Structure 1
């Protein structure tokens, strides 16, 4: 457990007595900000500047500020796995800072044991004993009773954190919650109402997309419904702790789907395209790995995806060819049924232009209906490889002759340098993920 004084106590009410306004010794020409800077609270001053609270604490007040030392801020950063105050999201830092401020000017001699409500909105617990004053267990240390023109400052030896934020400390969500580069992920988790699930489920592995990853994937949290966000977010979670050294070929996710890993010399990838960019960030009982795109769960089979894509006019010929095998072929020849099955399969899908070129290559073929059914079936099966083979996996799938066997029985020969098949067919699009395999796009029809 991380040693952090995050105690939320419920005690008797605190009665505070303001300092005597008539005491000239308490007068100061410096406001709280200037006084903090003059007394060496550099981290506090930097934090206040970062979140634009300087003008607030330069106001009339009066305020009582419990000011953490620079060492206290360093301890906080260490506890939440960050290296700089600038790394902490502004909204989180704002709540933390306002949790150190109480309205009114309260000298140490006027403090009694009990609770006081902060400007942040929740209570801090003060305790007065023979050994001194503590705030949520943090010690009030010298200098204290530093009087400003608009309030008073007491030094404390730990950063105070409200319960709403402390709940994330030492959990699997901590690395993202306290890092501004993952604020979109936390926004999505909150909107999807997934906070409690992720905080209270032990031994999780989270593949965490950065803010840039959300942008790259075109996922806008504000425009996405809570239910859809929950489905996407839980697709990033494995319900066991998996370190980078133990990443398997595939893993079941919290949403009931599966993700697939390609661990190759060029990097470590999920579902072909999503790269794991940082690994093994342990927190609580879980671990976080950072990824460069958002993982989107597949919800269609290979056939379903081809049909969806054909609505944009790209694979209408492929869908028509598959449909013909279902309409005219035997049960064994029905490739709609086969490619809708468990699989997994890898399909190299020719575009409509590729099928047009195939028809033009034979004077007897004006339409797909002119191609003998058996020939058409063999051609289609020649585009199908057993197994889920993303582009990153091709090198490991090749035999000694750079070939991969198809379900038709012949082999495809690959040149991975220029991404061609059988010397002349170009792979123009890769890694369309489906529930039962993967689709790659090619610019010509392969003929066995």
Structure 2
């Protein structure tokens, strides 16, 4: 694991250290916010914390913990870059409320040391949604689909565990998570609009809702561009969501069910999916999974010549996990 060393310099980052609290020439252990400010590996996390209005929170003691501690799974700059977020300006593509909730999902109230991150264990988050720890056979450790690349960076108000992907959760089931993207509640620009239109057209809303006793799902969700590319392949222009209705409902239904996996492979994050094998989709056709590389897996339908890539993997929903992909999976 890469070592992340906090800079103990007594800096007045974001004005979170009061001058009266620091003895002259005395080294001061920085807060979680200060570490983000002073460590270049966390520049984008600093920008996100400021825009998401959590910088002050993580710069102070936790009032809900006897020791005043938080534990933060901290995405590095490279983690944000995987989502195309490389500068403070890039964060403007996300709704501020969603960004704040995303940051809360990285925070645990109290101390959660590296020794407690055991395979299969879970922990609550400030968002109220749990995360789980996964250890692969090669020994690498993950929280959901994000690799833990360092542990136990000490701060004055807790601990930091650097991770290589941003953790994502919606506090909604798969259907309502898609609706949130479609309505622009996540990205400022609506996304998954074709997928939502197709689900409504085929009357499959109930299949993606969370119901009492329902098993978790793994859902591969094609982007809008993926559907537009499918239209070019089929020779049926799909320029807007309503154009999906040019296709036979039975055909669209079969295609949609090819993107849903349940049973023993339902609710799986990328490190848990069985690489280099096939899994059965809800429609009965197999979906081929490629090798696990750089935290993602390619996905291919029987009717595809080229596999789909995960563009936004590991989105935690209340009834499963969604992986946004760049190609529609065809069953035949």
Superposition TM-score tier, normalisation by shorter sequence: 0.5 to 0.7
State the superposition RMSD in angstroms: 4.9
With over 3 angstroms needed to count, the CA separation of the structure-2 counterparts of 1:393 and 1:196, relative to structure 1, is same
With over 3 angstroms needed to count, the CA separation of the structure-2 counterparts of 1:207 and 1:193, relative to structure 1, is closer
Deviation of 1:406 (Å) = 1.6
Question: Structure with the greater relative contact order (CA < 8 A, sep ≥ 6): 1 or 2?
Answer: 2
The alignment status of 1:318 with 2:199, answered yes or no, reads no
With over 3 angstroms needed to count, the CA separation of the structure-2 counterparts of 1:203 and 1:243, relative to structure 1, is farther
Provide the residue aligned with 2:107 in structure 1.
Answer: 237
With over 3 angstroms needed to count, the CA separation of the structure-2 counterparts of 1:258 and 1:374, relative to structure 1, is same
User: What CA distance in whole angstroms lies between the structure 1 residues aligned with 2:174 and 2:150?
Assistant: 31
Deviation of 1:435 (Å) = 1.9
User: What CA distance in whole angstroms lies between the structure 2 residues aligned with 1:325 and 1:434?
Assistant: 24
Would the aligned equivalents of 2:5 and 2:153 in 1 still touch at CA under 8 Å?
A: no
Q: TM-score, length-normalised on structure 1?
A: 0.48
Would the aligned equivalents of 1:276 and 1:291 in 2 still touch at CA under 8 Å?
A: yes
Provide the residue aligned with 2:324 in structure 1.
Answer: 440
2:259 counterpart (354, 363, 383) = 383
Unaligned runs of 5+ in 2: 184-188, 237-242
2:305 counterpart (424, 428, 432) = 424
Secondary structure of the residue that 1:438 maps to in structure 2? strand
User: What CA distance in whole angstroms lies between the structure 2 residues aligned with 1:349 and 1:95?
Assistant: 42
Q: TM-score, length-normalised on structure 2?
A: 0.62
Would the aligned equivalents of 1:315 and 1:352 in 2 still touch at CA under 8 Å?
A: no
User: What CA distance in whole angstroms lies between the structure 2 residues aligned with 1:379 and 1:229?
Assistant: 32
The alignment status of 1:345 with 2:214, answered yes or no, reads no
Q: Name the count of aligned residue pairs.
A: 285
Higher radius of gyration, 1 or 2: 1
Secondary structure of the residue that 1:379 maps to in structure 2? helix
Provide the residue aligned with 1:415 in structure 2.
Answer: 290
Would the aligned equivalents of 1:193 and 1:226 in 2 still touch at CA under 8 Å?
A: no
306-315 or 424-433, larger mean C-alpha shift: 306-315
Q: Deviations over 1:34-56 (max 9, x none)?
A: xxxxxxxxxxxxxxxxxxxxxxx
The alignment status of 1:405 with 2:280, answered yes or no, reads yes
Unaligned runs of 5+ in 1: 1-80, 100-119, 125-157, 327-334, 362-366
Would the aligned equivalents of 2:112 and 2:159 in 1 still touch at CA under 8 Å?
A: yes
